Amino acid sequence: MMRKLLLFIILTSTFMNSQVIKDTVLGRPKFVKEFVVFLNDSGPFTFMEGDNEYGHAMIMTPENLRSSMKNTWFETDFCRYINNETYYDKNRNITKETWYYKSGEIVDDYVYTYDHLNRLIAKKSKNNYSESLLHYFYDKDDKVPNFKEYASKWKDEPWEKYVNKIEDYKSLTVSKFDSTSKTDSIFVITNEIWKKVDDSSYSYVPDAIYQKKLSSVTIYNDKYEMTESKSFNFKNDYQNKKITETGYFKYEYDDIGHLKKMTGFDNGNLGDYSTTIYENGKIVRKEIRMGENTWITIYSYTKDQDVKRKTVYYDNKLWHDIEFEYKDNYISKLFYLDKFGRVDEQIEPTIISFKYKFDKRKNWIEIIKNVNGKDLYKWVRKIEYY
């Protein structure tokens, strides 16, 4: 089961951004209510028995729930759960949203406040068990806050409050460029070091002396195109003496300077690597090797540069295949093949079609997801406008 979860994470991480309209709301929405209706005895996708409708170990934030619903709805043969009411101001900022379980119980209720410069200054969340309040403080017209105040409480318990200066989390850095070798080195200036607490534990604490620690190195060619990059971590050594290489990438370009190949190496295991091949700015092949296993993903595109097909091979055997058909910038049909646990079997792809209904503002208000000729899921949106 966990292996299937890993597959799901790998596949979703390789999905490409495109201009295809999925869950976008066009125009100036004032209020959107959206939910899923399960048809013909279907239900939400879950990993384990006992999972709630949102699924196993799901991070229950609005951003994550929306992303999970959008990707799985249009790129699998199953359906996640979604049920929320969202309010917008005239600048399209979300001012309030409430998420629900199927029972009607509130998952979380959020309220957002903005200032006259359209900056988020407060975020309040509440459910049956806890509350939290986050305030942001800005300096004059800055768009990035410099302080944040966080308060939270569990039901029937007192509030706890924390104040942080956001700048405290930004390390001071210095750069050194060698014009001969065209090497740019970035150093972190820090006084944080490990100190031994007892025989089995250490604590990361401030020291009286600041030191310069190598953070990254970038190498350029004569055209000042980045050809190599390395990243380093100085926090892995309890003796405060060594730095560890954490990432190494090599880059290749075509004759007109477009990136055509990027290769990454895992310094902890020299046999592990990833290679990404580009054509016209799009990924056409991605290979990942981890130990004895290799994943290869092949991409093809339509004339409009939308993803047409994505095929995944695991140790040279077909593992996963998706092919898209489009109509008017919407996904109209999907051919979906998942051979996890059945790589040696002959399996026909699942045929998925999407039937849309639109409102007068040309936003979809209903999509029925049909799987192998049977209507299984309906995603509904009720939209009010300014």
CATH of residue 320's domain is 2.40.128
Asked if 307 contacts 299 with a C-beta cutoff of 8 angstroms, the reply is: yes
Q: Is residue 305 part of a domain?
A: yes
Q: Is residue 160 part of a domain?
A: no
Token pair of 187, please? Answer: 């150093």
- Asked whether residue 259 falls in the same domain as residue 187, the answer is no
Q: How far, in Å, CA of 74 to CA of 10, rounded?
A: 17
Token pair of 296, please? Answer: 């290869």
Which residues partner with 231 through β-bridges? 216, 247
Q: Is residue 246 part of a domain?
A: no
- Asked whether residue 267 falls in the same domain as residue 212, the answer is no
Q: Is residue 89 part of a domain?
A: no
The continuous run of DSSP H or E covering 204 comes out as: strand 201-220
- Asked whether residue 207 falls in the same domain as residue 265, the answer is no
Tens-digit pLDDT string for the chain (386 aa)? 433 443 444 454 444 445 789 999 999 999 999 999 999 989 888 777 777 888 877 789 999 999 999 999 999 999 999 999 999 999 999 999 999 999 999 999 999 999 999 999 999 999 999 999 999 999 999 998 999 999 999 998 999 999 988 766 667 899 999 999 999 999 999 988 999 888 889 998 888 899 999 999 999 999 999 999 999 999 988 988 899 998 899 999 999 999 999 999 886 565 789 999 999 899 999 999 988 899 999 999 999 999 999 999 999 999 999 999 999 999 999 999 999 888 889 999 999 999 999 999 999 999 999 999 999 999 999 999 99
How far is residue 257 CA from its own chain's centroid?
A: 29
> Into how many domains does the chain fold?
2
- Asked whether residue 204 falls in the same domain as residue 280, the answer is no
- Asked whether residue 269 falls in the same domain as residue 316, the answer is yes
Asked if 37 contacts 380 with a C-beta cutoff of 8 angstroms, the reply is: yes
- Asked whether residue 340 falls in the same domain as residue 294, the answer is yes
This model's pTM is above 0.85: no
Q: Is residue 199 part of a domain?
A: yes
- Asked whether residue 279 falls in the same domain as residue 343, the answer is yes
How far is residue 113 CA from its own chain's centroid?
A: 25
Q: How far, in Å, CA of 27 to CA of 21, rounded?
A: 13
Q: Is residue 56 part of a domain?
A: no
Token pair of 22, please? Answer: 């999925």
Residue-number span of the structural domain to which 296 is assigned: 254-348
Q: Is residue 18 part of a domain?
A: no
Q: Is residue 36 part of a domain?
A: no
- Asked whether residue 277 falls in the same domain as residue 195, the answer is no
